[in-house]
């Protein structure tokens, strides 16, 4: 990273059958994942699903029970953390409070490149070699700070920085080692919404510029979709699906993933209910959902509020479900209209917020939804016979 921007040599990452256990609890259960050189992959999943454990295992900070990790084609199993060529920004990043930002960023290089004597005040002046090393470190701190746009802050201590500025210093401290692999554990979690959006854009631009292979942990699906080349969705210690943001958003493999990518609401209606109440098709037997015939379909059908619409009367030839308006929730430009279907189930329809007045409680309408965007899933256990509900996903 000397002088101007520097492209580091990016490395591939291959994880196979990684298993990690805490007592009886399997935090990682046969996790496999391949990340290409220079690729930005997000690990997305709810709290406690094992995201941090996965990153810590790759970094060598967690003892794994089984499986292999290869970085740049070389096995790192058994290597010490510092020998893995990996830089880690922790979920609760900590800067040294008594050091300036410049010293914080330089800390990993001072540890690895200067001996104990070189770190002592003044003594290093006696040695030309140590002086040159210190100058080279100072150059690299300057270059890293330029990339992160924190040059004016270098002389300050962490206490005199905003959360977002501290976050960048922590990123700088990881970047300066020119890692083959960058592991970021919710590095934006402490930022407010506006700063978080800005920092994530900057982070992705920086990652593209330097080309470092990156694993980025988040539990925010919007964030993952915004910045990732691919997303690995994790639940309960297992990776359930890996794909581009578009692939996972359009074709979630399970209902749990569909719910995770449809916050706050996903409509889930038993296929049998649809068959009973859907009307208006030229020939009901011809209705296809997500490309498959509704006729004889088992399980549930899920569709997003934004793929649904409500009209006062049935559109000729289009299948729709009779419904009654319950209430509306304002969401800025749009609103969520909660309606009741014929069997008493709730569904949510996205409308424009200026249309709320058109849909008072008790109004009757017909709900249409995009049959191609809807997906069929196996019924969740214990829910097959119960009426569907539009779910709040925490």
What minimum distance in Å lies between the beta carbon of 55 and ligand ATP? 8
Nearer to ligand ATP, 241 or 309 (CB): 241
Question: For 186-196, b where at least 16 C-beta lie within 10 A, e where not — what string?
Answer: bbbbebeeebb
Give the footprint of ligand ATP on residues 49-108 (CB under 6 A).
Answer: 49-53, 91
163-169 contacts: CB < 8 A, separation 24 or more? 163/190, 163/191, 163/192, 163/195, 164/191, 164/195, 164/199, 166/93, 166/95, 167/93, 167/191, 167/199, 168/199, 169/95, 169/101, 169/104, 169/105
Nearer to ligand ATP, 46 or 264 (CB): 46
Give the footprint of ligand ATP on residues 257-296 (CB under 6 A).
Answer: none
- Asked whether 326 and 339 are in contact (CB, 8 A), the reply is yes
Residues that bind Mg ion (CB under 5 A): 52
Select from Mg ion, ligand ATP, none the partner in contact with residue 179, using the beta carbon and a kind-dependent cut-off of 5 to 8 Å: none
What minimum distance in Å lies between the beta carbon of 185 and Mg ion? 6
Select from Mg ion, ligand ATP, none the partner in contact with residue 27, using the beta carbon and a kind-dependent cut-off of 5 to 8 Å: ligand ATP
Residues whose CB is less than 8 angstroms from the CB of residue 336 and which lie 6 or more positions away in sequence, other chains included? 265, 305, 328, 329, 348, 349, 350, 351
Residue 230 in contact with ligand ATP, rule: CB under 6 A: no
Nearer to ligand ATP, 50 or 252 (CB): 50
Residue 22 in contact with ligand ATP, rule: CB under 6 A: yes
Residue 47 in contact with ligand ATP, rule: CB under 6 A: yes
Helix (H, G, I), strand (E, B), or coil: what is residue 366?
Answer: strand
What minimum distance in Å lies between the beta carbon of 47 and Mg ion? 7
Torsion sign over Cα 97, 99, 102, 105: negative
Question: Which H or E run includes 349?
Answer: strand 346-352
The structure tokens listed for 284 are 């009901």
Residue 27 in contact with ligand ATP, rule: CB under 6 A: yes
Nearer to Mg ion, 4 or 47 (CB): 47
# of chain residues touching ligand ATP (CB under 6 A)? 13
Omega before 264 cis (within 30°)?
yes
What minimum distance in Å lies between the beta carbon of 91 and Mg ion? 5
- Smallest CA-to-CA distance from 175 within 211, 144, 149 is with 144
Residue 391 in contact with ligand ATP, rule: CB under 6 A: no
Residue 48 in contact with ligand ATP, rule: CB under 6 A: yes
Residue 240 in contact with ligand ATP, rule: CB under 6 A: no
Select from Mg ion, ligand ATP, none the partner in contact with residue 290, using the beta carbon and a kind-dependent cut-off of 5 to 8 Å: none
Select from Mg ion, ligand ATP, none the partner in contact with residue 381, using the beta carbon and a kind-dependent cut-off of 5 to 8 Å: none
Q: Footprint of ligand ATP on this chain (CB under 6 A)? A: 22, 25, 27, 45, 47-53, 91, 219
């Amino acid at each position: 990273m000397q002088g101007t921007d520097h492209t580091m040599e990016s490395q591939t990452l291959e994880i196979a059958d990684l298993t990690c256990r805490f007592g009886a609890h399997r935090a990682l259960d046969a996790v496999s994942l391949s990340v290409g050189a220079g690729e930005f992959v997000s690990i997305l999943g709810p709290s406690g699903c094992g995201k941090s454990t996965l990153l810590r295992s790759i970094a060598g900070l967690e003892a794994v029970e089984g499986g292999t990790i290869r970085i740049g084609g070389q096995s790192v199993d058994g290597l010490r953390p510092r020998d893995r060529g990996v830089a880690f920004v922790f979920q609760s990043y900590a800067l040294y409070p008594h050091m300036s930002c410049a010293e914080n960023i330089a800390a990993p290089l001072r540890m690895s490149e200067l001996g104990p004597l070189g770190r002592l005040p003044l003594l290093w002046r006696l040695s030309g070699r140590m002086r040159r090393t210190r100058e080279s470190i100072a150059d690299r701190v300057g270059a890293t700070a330029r990339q992160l746009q924190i040059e004016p802050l270098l002389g300050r201590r962490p206490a005199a920085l905003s959360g977002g500025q501290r976050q960048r210093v922590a990123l700088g401290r990881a970047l300066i080692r020119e890692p083959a692999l960058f592991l970021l554990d919710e590095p934006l979690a402490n930022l407010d919404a506006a700063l978080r959006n800005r920092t994530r854009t900057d982070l992705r631009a920086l990652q593209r510029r330097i080309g470092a292979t990156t694993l980025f942990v988040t539990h925010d699906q919007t964030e993952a979709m915004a910045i990732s080349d691919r997303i690995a969705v994790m639940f309960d210690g297992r990776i359930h699906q890996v794909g581009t943001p578009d692939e996972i958003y359009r074709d979630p493999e399970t209902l749990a993933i569909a719910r995770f990518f449809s916050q706050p609401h996903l409509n889930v209606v038993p296929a049998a209910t649809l068959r009973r109440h859907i009307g208006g098709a030229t020939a009901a037997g011809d209705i296809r959902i997500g490309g498959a015939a509704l006729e004889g379909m088992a399980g549930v059908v899920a569709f997003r509020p934004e793929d649904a619409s409500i009209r006062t009367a049935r559109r000729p030839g289009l299948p729709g479900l009779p419904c009654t308006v319950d209430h509306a929730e304002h969401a800025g430009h749009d609103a969520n209209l909660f309606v009741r279907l014929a069997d008493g189930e709730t569904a949510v329809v996205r409308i424009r917020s200026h249309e709320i007045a058109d849909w008072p409680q008790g109004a009757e309408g017909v709900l249409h939804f995009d049959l191609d965007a809807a997906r069929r899933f196996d019924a969740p256990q214990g829910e097959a016979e119960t009426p569907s509900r539009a779910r709040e996903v925490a």
